[in-house]
Chain A
């Protein structure tokens, strides 16, 4: 079945460091891929998405590229800020319109 695997957290970085959160998926067909962010006490917010191979999603300095050959959608940011501290979820939308989620990666940015 379809599944999403993302790196375990927490990931702790200093401000202005480079961020990578790994995400790989297993799916039939060509799912759409998403990164969502969840700030403490809040719901999920769409961060970025990609709908086909080689698409690059980007938003607020975050980027992720849909790599079909490696079935990956790694999240990157060149210089993180304290305000980026949150839980990040990788997800895919399957052919039945369901969102399949990774377990989430908690990101902690220290000043």
Chain B
């Protein structure tokens, strides 16, 4: 049983560029949450998707956007990249009404 799959694992982008990160949730899960984890810090909640809609959003600018597809997979898009966007981006899947979150291994984004 595959867990949460994220791609790519590593990415290097230049300031001002745009990036798309992808997440496939664990089988049976219908909710996807995205987190940003800066080096040495705890994760910060970006947003959560359920039924192809953004349900909740953390304190992130509109440059951060997302999408959920009918098969529950999700994308995180970041426009106009800044050096400060360099971080590990984590995807977590869950099932509505269930307390269990399964995390992927993350995508390490470096902005130069």
Residue among A32, A44, A49, A104 having the largest count of chain B Cβ atoms under 10 Å: A44
Measured between beta carbons, the chain A residues less than 8 angstroms from B104 are 43
Measured between beta carbons, the chain A residues less than 8 angstroms from B40 are 103-104
Is the contact region of chain A dominated by helix, strand, or loop, or is it mixed?
strand
Category for how many chain A residues contact B:
20 to 34
Q: Given the known A-B contacts A93-B99, A102-B42, are A42 and B56 also in contact in the complex, defined by CB atoms under 8 Å?
A: no
Category for how many chain B residues contact A:
20 to 34
Select A42's contact among B31, B45, B92, B105, beta carbons within 8 Å. Answer: B105
Contact B101 A99 (CB under 8 A): yes
Question: Is residue B76 contacting chain A, with contact meaning CB distance below 8 A?
Answer: no
Q: Interface on A for B, CB 8 Å cutoff? A: 4, 32, 36, 42-46, 49, 51, 89, 91, 93, 96-104
Q: Interface on B for A, CB 8 Å cutoff? A: 4, 31, 33, 35, 40-45, 48, 55-56, 58, 90, 92, 99-106
